Amino acid sequence: MAADADRPMLLTNIGELTTNVAVDGDPCGTLRDAAVLVHDGLIAWTGSADAVPPSPDALVVDAGGRAVIPGFVDSHTHLVFGGDRAEEFAARMAGERYAAGGIRTTVAATRAASDDDLRDRLAALVAECRAQGTTTVEIKTGYGLDVATERRLARLAAEVTDEVTFLGAHVVAPEYADRADEYVSLVTGVMLATVAPHARWIDVFCEDGAFTAEQSRRVLAAGRAAGLGIRVHGNQLGFGDGVGLAVELGAAAVDHCTYLADADVAALAASDTVATLLPGVEFSTRQPYPDARRLLDAGVTVALASDCNPGSSYTSSMPLMIALAVREMGMTPSEAVWAATAGGARALRRTDVGVVAPGARADLVLLDAPTRVHLAYRPGVPLVRRVWKDGRQLPGSGTAQGQPTMRALANPPVW
Tell me, yes or no, whether 122 and 61 share the same domain: no
Confidence of residue 98 (pLDDT cuts 50, 70, 90): confident
The terminus-to-terminus CA distance of the chain in angstroms comes to 20
Tell me, yes or no, whether 56 and 80 share the same domain: no
**What average pLDDT is seen over the chain?**
94
pLDDT at 99: 65
pLDDT at 401: 42
- The answer to whether residues 208 and 182 touch, using CB atoms and an 8 Å cutoff, is no
- The answer to whether residues 145 and 154 touch, using CB atoms and an 8 Å cutoff, is no
Look at residue 66 and tell me whether its pLDDT is greater than 90. yes
170 annotated as belonging to a binding site for a ligand: yes
287 annotated as belonging to a binding site for a ligand: no
Tell me, yes or no, whether 184 and 303 share the same domain: yes
Look at residue 412 and tell me whether its pLDDT is greater than 90. no
The mean-pLDDT minimum among 99-108, 124-133, 152-161, 180-189 falls in 99-108
pLDDT at 5: 53
Pick the closest to residue 219 from 240, 233, 209, 239 (CA basis).
Answer: 233
Tell me, yes or no, whether 252 and 339 share the same domain: yes
266: which DSSP letter? H
**Pure H helices in 39-179:** 86-93, 103-112, 115-131, 147-158
Look at residue 373 and tell me whether its pLDDT is greater than 90. yes
Number of domains comprising the chain: 2
Residue 412 lies in a domain: no
Average pLDDT over residues 385-389: 98
Which whole-number Å values give the CA distances from 76 to 23, 212, 294, 388, in the listed order?
A: 28, 21, 22, 21
256 annotated as belonging to a binding site for a ligand: no
Helix (H, G, I), strand (E, B) or coil at 56: coil
Cα(234)–Cα(240) distance, rounded to whole angstroms? Answer: 7
Tell me, yes or no, whether 33 and 85 share the same domain: no
309 annotated as belonging to a binding site for a ligand: yes
Cα(385)–Cα(184) distance, rounded to whole angstroms? Answer: 46
39 annotated as belonging to a binding site for a ligand: no
223 annotated as belonging to a binding site for a ligand: no
Look at residue 409 and tell me whether its pLDDT is greater than 60. no
Look at the alpha carbons of 258, 260, 264, 266 in this order and tell me if their dihedral is positive or negative: positive
Residues 6+ apart with CB under 8 A from 312: 98, 102, 281, 284, 285
Helix (H, G, I), strand (E, B) or coil at 122: helix
143 annotated as belonging to a binding site for a ligand: yes
Residues 6+ apart with CB under 8 A from 227: 196
198 annotated as belonging to a binding site for a ligand: no
Cα(342)–Cα(73) distance, rounded to whole angstroms? Answer: 7
Domain boundary among 319, 347, 375: 347
Average pLDDT over residues 304-310: 98
Write out the residue range of the structural domain in which residue 242 sits. 73-347
Residue 407 lies in a domain: no
Average pLDDT over residues 91-114: 87
Average pLDDT over residues 267-292: 97
Residues 6+ apart with CB under 8 A from 177: none
311 annotated as belonging to a binding site for a ligand: yes
Cα(407)–Cα(1) distance, rounded to whole angstroms? Answer: 17
Average pLDDT over residues 3-24: 89
pLDDT digits (tens, 9 = 90+) for 206-265: 999 999 999 999 999 999 999 999 999 999 999 999 999 999 999 999 999 999 999 999
Look at residue 399 and tell me whether its pLDDT is greater than 80. no
Tell me, yes or no, whether 238 and 306 share the same domain: yes
Look at residue 120 and tell me whether its pLDDT is greater than 80. yes
